[in-house]
Every structure is written in C-alpha cells, then in structure tokens.
C-alpha cells in the first residue's frame, strides 16, 4: 500500500471531524455561504474541501461514484482506506464527486422516490473558483437573497422543480465549500 493512501486523513479525527461536520452542515443550512474546511490532505486531483467532505459524510454504507479525473487509483485507494465507502456507478450512488462536466448528465443520479425522497444523490462538484456572486438564490436558509457562482442555471432550476425529490449539491474549490440543497430556488 502506498504511503499516500495512508496519509491525508484527519490528524485529530474526533476534533477534525466535528469541525468539518459543522462546516459542511452550515454550508447546507445556509445556501450561498462559503465555508473553509481543513484537516485533510487528499491526493490530487481532489481539493482539500472535497476530501474533507468525503471523510465527513461517507462511510461503509454510503456508495460513492468518482467521475472524470477523480476516478483514479490514488483517489480510489484513499477513499477506500479512510472511509471504507464502496465505489459504485452513478445510478446507485449516494455521493458523486467530480467536475461539473464529468458529473453530467444529472439524469443518471437517483433523485429519491415519493415514499423516500431522502434516497437521492448528493453531488460534490469540484470548481476552479467559488464566489458569492453570479446566480441569485432564494429559499430556506436564505434571509432575502444570496448569490453563488454556479456552472449554469437551468440544471438547478430543473432540479428545484422536482422538490421534494431532487439532487443536493456541494461546490468545492481549494479549502472552500458551499452548498445548494434541492429546496433552493435559482434565478
């Protein structure tokens, strides 16, 4: 086993995981806000924020799909060692990770059912840049409006129209994370 596989996890697992979980949940509870995450050093091409999100949200019962550049030996080994999450295809995943282009089309991911809307996928979208500007957001967790640099608008409008079904999204860049839950309206 390569040293890179064994390294890069939380240095102080209990403390780092608690701080990371709070940052991830704050991002989801307040769409459009950007939070810094730290504590992990995943292998390239993953950002720190994407690695921390995987360590925080995934375990042996959360199937993960790695798309595009993220689907490489180093990342596969790192995810397997640090989370135990099974790697799967897009149709059966709970989490998917990759760039926007690599994750498309969105129609291949589970959006839940009327009985179990929570059985949908959450996509972790690696972005070159993440800013609180661009697309206007409204909905739960947003006082009036918020803004977030999204890769496009129509896909998120279509997703919000499925509510209570639909996908949830995290956007990561470097050590920063933002979220867009399915309940958020995008204009």
pLDDT digits (tens, 9 = 90+) for 133-182: 999 999 999 999 999 999 999 999 999 999 999 999 999 999 999 999 99
pTM for the whole structure:
0.95
CB atoms within 10 A of CB 98: 23
The structural domains of the chain, with segments of one domain joined by +, span 3-186
* Helices within 125-176 (DSSP H only): 154-161
64/92 Cα distance (integer angstroms): 9
Please, what CATH class does the domain formed by 3-186 belong to? alpha beta
pLDDT digits (tens, 9 = 90+) for 90-117: 999 999 999 999 999 999 999 999 999 9
How far are the Cα atoms of 48, 58, 86 from residue 2, in angstroms, in the given order? 20, 22, 19
* Helices within 12-129 (DSSP H only): 13-29, 48-57, 73-83, 100-103
């Amino acid at each position: 086993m390569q040293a890179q596989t064994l390294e890069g996890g939380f240095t102080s697992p209990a403390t780092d995981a608690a701080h990371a979980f709070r940052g991830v949940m704050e991002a989801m509870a307040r769409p459009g806000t950007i939070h810094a995450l730290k504590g992990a050093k995943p292998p390239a091409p993953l950002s720190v924020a994407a690695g921390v999100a995987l360590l925080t949200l995934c375990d042996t019962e959360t199937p993960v799909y790695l798309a595009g550049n993220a689907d490489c030996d180093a990342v596969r080994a790192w995810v397997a060692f640090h989370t135990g999450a099974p790697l799967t295809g897009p149709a059966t995943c709970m989490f998917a990770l990759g760039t926007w282009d690599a994750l498309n089309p969105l129609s291949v991911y589970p959006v839940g059912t009327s009985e179990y809307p929570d059985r949908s996928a959450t996509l972790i979208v690696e972005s070159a840049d993440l800013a609180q500007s661009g697309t206007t957001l409204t909905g739960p967790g947003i006082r009036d409006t918020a803004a977030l640099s999204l890769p496009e608008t129509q896909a998120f409008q279509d997703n919000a129209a499925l509510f209570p079904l639909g996908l949830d999204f995290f956007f990561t860049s470097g050590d920063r994370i933002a979220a867009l839950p399915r309940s958020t309206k995008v204009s």
